[in-house]
Amino acid sequence: MAPSTQITRLRRVLNLPIIAIMASAPAPQCAIVIFGASGDLARRKLIPALYDLAKEGLLNPKSYVVGYSRSPMTDDEFRKYCREAVDKFARIKPIDEALWRDFEKRLYYEQADYGSMDDQTRVADER
């Protein structure tokens, strides 16, 4: 049976979206930019989900995350903010300390104005 037929059949049986079935290997290396990184959506959902993907081996170990927001924050403050979010909202517990140490090295923060082309260019050039 062809792989696409197997996926379609499995999707019907499990009633899952195709992306959930196909997620079995890390995604290619990439930069993930979270706009509004100091906000509630990032804290409760996005950051913990990225940690969970890393824990499940689905986030490429060379990928990195750039938090982009207007709030002033350093990289270290952002990493602390992310750790608190993961501690509170991650699906997979307990937190793997070795994984966290590796993951936090790939977290960066940029204070910038969403509407400023100069800020967007600066962030793109820096990272």
Cα gap 23→20, rounded to integer Å:
6
Cα gap 79→65, rounded to integer Å:
11
The type of residue at 65 is V
Beta strands 64-69 and 31-35 are parallel
Going from N- to C-terminal start, the domains of the chain cover 26-126
- Model confidence over 91-116: pLDDT tens digits? 999 999 999 999 999 999 999 998 88
Q: Give the pLDDT score at 46.
A: 96
pTM of the model as a whole: 0.78
Q: Give the pLDDT score at 126.
A: 77
| Helix, strand, coil in percent for the chain, rounding step 5 | 50, 15, 35
What class has domain 26-126?
alpha beta
